[in-house]
Amino acid sequence: MLNVQLITKVGIAILESDGALTVDDFEAVAEKIDPYIEERGKLNGLIIRSESFVGWDSFAALTTHLRFVRKHHQKIARVALVTDSPVGKLAEVVTGHFVNAEVRDFGYEELEQARSWILEKDTQNDTQEE
């Protein structure tokens, strides 16, 4: 199951998984964040937090995940991978070639650092617009 928390005040979604990802998980994420993106035009950041890499429960879940990334990657400024899994470091390098979002890996206990990193980007954008 994928738990989704949307912090509308700062435009950050936090996804925390406690098992293999399912098709329903990605549909639930889209239901939660799509209205926010439609209203605001973007999401400042997405935090994906999992102590270890949980994988997908089926090939359909993997393809749904890939479709989700394709649909959303231009509408999310930064993605923080908050995990102790070595897959986090690999994903940071690999996904950087396929998505517009800036991607960075953090340790599992570094949730606040990940949130600060995302908000730092938002603060920089606000300063540049003034």
What is the DSSP secondary-structure string of 4-50? Answer: EEEETTTTEEEEEESS-B-HHHHHHHHHHHHHHHHHHS-EEEEEEE-
- Contact yes or no for 14/47 (Cβ under 8 A): yes
> Average pLDDT per run of 10 along the chain, which is 130 residues long?
92 91 91 95 92 84 85 88 73 60 89 95 44
* CATH code of 82's domain: 3.30.750
pLDDT of residue 130: 38
Question: How big is the chain, counted in residues?
Answer: 130
pLDDT of residue 129: 41
82 lies in which domain range? 2-129
Count of domains forming the chain: 1
pLDDT of residue 67: 86
Please compute Rg for the chain using Cα positions.
Answer: 14
- For residue 84, the one-letter residue type is D
pLDDT of residue 53: 80
- pTM for the predicted model, two decimal places: 0.83
